[in-house]
């Protein structure tokens, strides 16, 4: 049976697991505090997404694969919050988030159309232990659509360590506009853009990557991740090596 984490989905080595990561530990408590982050930059890689780079005070260094919660607060006290994957490497001085721009989205609509450089945003994080890579062993990342976002953090971290071979990447999306950081993925092991004529990910694409000694980080919609889980296990990848993060549309 494959365990799955609740979904999210948008220089120095990440800290090793220790008692601070346990529920109630100092690091976990610090990560759960709300902080007023400052938007250092807002970028629009396509009409479908926005990339936020945040200066987070008293930041807790994240592990690739973790996420932050962003909370918006109205003048009348009403709040709305959503979780977004971190795409920056732990060594980056800023926290970078990938946000899908959802039509009529309560939070993503604001972040994609109103938020500006210099604005303050309430954030909490980093969050998540299950879907996080410590770079101590080989890993394979397989992402569908915005599910590629947390894998970008992992790729960047491996590159920062001078060990890009530690992390292999498989990405699938409708087209380049729906593929996070498409320009960075030109050297990925497999990239499939199904809306541009590429075939869907299949056994022929994944078989060369099967590695029982590697951890597989699988992120995307429920339909995508379930199909990939079944395919990988059939190809011989042990179910115990799969870490899955499923998500649905969030606004």
What pLDDT, in 10s, does the model give residues 47-76?
Answer: 999 999 999 999 999 999 999 999 999 999
The whole-chain average pLDDT of the chain stands at 89
pLDDT score recorded for residue 25: 76
* Domain extents in the chain: 19-127, 130-247
Question: How far apart are alpha carbons 16 and 87 in whole angstroms?
Answer: 19
126-179 pLDDT per residue, tens: 999 899 999 999 999 999 999 999 999 999 999 999 999 999 999 999 999 999
Written out in words, the top-level CATH class of the domain with range 130-247 is alpha beta
Q: Which residue has the higher pLDDT, 18 or 200?
A: 200
Question: How far apart are alpha carbons 218 and 221 in whole angstroms?
Answer: 10
Strands (DSSP E) contained in 9-144 are 35-46, 49-55, 67-73, 79-85, 95-100, 120-127, 139-144
Which CATH superfamily does the domain covering 19-127 fall into? Translation factors (2.40.30.10)
76-112 pLDDT per residue, tens: 999 999 999 999 999 999 999 999 998 888 999 999 9
pLDDT score recorded for residue 8: 60
pLDDT score recorded for residue 11: 24
Q: Do domains 19-127 and 130-247 have the same CATH topology?
A: no
- The pTM (predicted TM-score) of the whole model is 0.88
Q: Is the pLDDT of residue 46 over 60?
A: yes
- pLDDT band with cut points at 50, 70 and 90 for residue 1: very low
pLDDT score recorded for residue 23: 52
Q: Is the pLDDT of residue 21 over 60?
A: no
Question: How far apart are alpha carbons 16 and 162 in whole angstroms?
Answer: 18
pLDDT score recorded for residue 22: 46
- pLDDT band with cut points at 50, 70 and 90 for residue 239: very high
pLDDT score recorded for residue 92: 97
pLDDT score recorded for residue 247: 79
Say how many C-beta atoms besides its own lie within 10 A of residue 168's C-beta: 22
CB 33 within 8 A of CB 124: yes
pLDDT score recorded for residue 26: 78
pLDDT score recorded for residue 14: 31
Question: How far apart are alpha carbons 160 and 98 in whole angstroms?
Answer: 20
Q: Provide, rounded to the nearest whole percent, the portion of the chain with pLDDT above 90.
A: 80
pLDDT score recorded for residue 7: 52
């Amino acid at each position: 049976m494959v365990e799955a984490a609740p979904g999210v989905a948008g220089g120095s080595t990440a800290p090793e697991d220790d008692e601070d990561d346990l529920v109630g530990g100092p690091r976990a408590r610090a990560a759960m505090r709300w902080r007023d982050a400052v938007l250092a930059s807002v970028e629009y890689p396509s009409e479908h997404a926005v990339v936020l780079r945040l200066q987070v005070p008293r930041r807790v260094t994240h592990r690739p694969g973790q996420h932050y919660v962003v909370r918006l607060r109205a003048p009348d006290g009403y709040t709305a919050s959503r979780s977004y994957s971190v795409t920056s490497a732990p060594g980056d001085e800023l926290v970078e988030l990938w946000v899908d721009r959802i039509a009529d989205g309560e939070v993503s609509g604001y972040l994609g159309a109103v938020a500006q450089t210099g604005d303050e945003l309430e954030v909490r994080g980093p969050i998540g232990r299950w879907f996080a890579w410590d770079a101590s062993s080989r890993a394979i990342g397989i992402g569908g659509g915005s599910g590629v976002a947390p894998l970008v953090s992992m790729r960047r971290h491996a590159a920062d360590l001078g060990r890009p071979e530690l992390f292999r990447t498989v990405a699938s999306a409708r087209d380049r506009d729906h593929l996070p950081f498409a320009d960075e993925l030109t050297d990925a092991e497999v990239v499939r853009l199904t809306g541009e004529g590429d075939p869907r990910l299949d056994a022929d694409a994944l078989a060369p990557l099967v590695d029982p000694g590697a951890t597989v980080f699988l992120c995307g919609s429920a339909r995508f991740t379930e199909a990939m889980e079944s395919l990988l296990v059939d190809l011989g990848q042990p179910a115990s090596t799969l870490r899955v993060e499923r998500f649905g549309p969030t606004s």
